[in-house]
Amino acid sequence: MLAITPWRRGVPDFAVTSPARILVCAVERRCSICGLALGNAPVWRVVAADEAIAIAMDPTGFENVASTVEPPGHRLCMLYAAVVCPWLTRPNARRRLDADVVGTRLARGDARGATGEIGGAVVSFERYEFAVGARVEFRYRGPLDFRPHLLGEEHVPALREGVAGEPAPSESCPPWLMQDEDAASARAQRYL
Ligand SMILES: [Zn+2]
């Protein structure tokens, strides 16, 4: 269950994400996957192939690229998303990396998996900003860690290791990010 998945008549609708829930997570600095607080730590996101290459080639210049509707989350939550979400790992989203990029620029972070083709990456950023228009749009600043993948399954060992070492959460997902869609809408309305 994702915090940004809307519920209709008691059933989660995985086909879409809820702008209201995304807004609530953005304002409250909550993870879009689990709904728990992000704190002041760097935030994580799964990026597609084109964006992964843009970050790898120019981590500083990347800050000027267009905003995205993809909200942030915890490291383990985003590793999990990269492993299990089919739309993040579809084969036609792959791009070929230049040898130059693989050899030098990807030295930052974990370059395993970047052997010529890239499907995307799990990336951490110092911070995010967001703006509310027709949709909630995010801008991510200061790329820190960069973990490229071809299919996403490359992240399974890091995910397994992270989950094993993770302490039990001291909070639970707030009620307005659970099944009650009216509560989610009311919360979002408060922030508009
Ligand atoms: Zn999370």
CA dihedral 103, 107, 109, 115 (to 10 degrees): 10
Which run of H or of E encompasses 164? helix 156-165
Of the pLDDT bands very low, low, confident and very high (cuts 50, 70, 90), residue 93 is low
Q: Please give the distance, rounded to the nearest whole angstrom, from the Cα atom of residue 177 to the centre of ligand 1.
A: 12
pTM over 0.95: no
CA 13 – CA 11 distance, rounded (Å): 6
Q: Please give the distance, rounded to the nearest whole angstrom, from the Cα atom of residue 90 to the centre of ligand 1.
A: 23
Type of residue numbered 185:
S
Of the pLDDT bands very low, low, confident and very high (cuts 50, 70, 90), residue 32 is very high
Domain assignments of the chain as residue spans, ordered by start: 1-37+171-192, 40-167
CB under 5 Å of ion ligand 1: residues: 31, 33-34, 73-74, 77
Residue 68, classed as helix, strand or coil, is strand
Q: Please give the distance, rounded to the nearest whole angstrom, from the Cα atom of residue 75 to the centre of ligand 1.
A: 7
pLDDT for 82 equals 92
> In the predicted model, is pLDDT for residue 89 greater than 70?
no
Q: Please give the distance, rounded to the nearest whole angstrom, from the Cα atom of residue 69 to the centre of ligand 1.
A: 17
Q: What is the pLDDT of residues 114-144, one digit of tens each?
A: 456 788 899 999 999 999 988 999 999 888 9
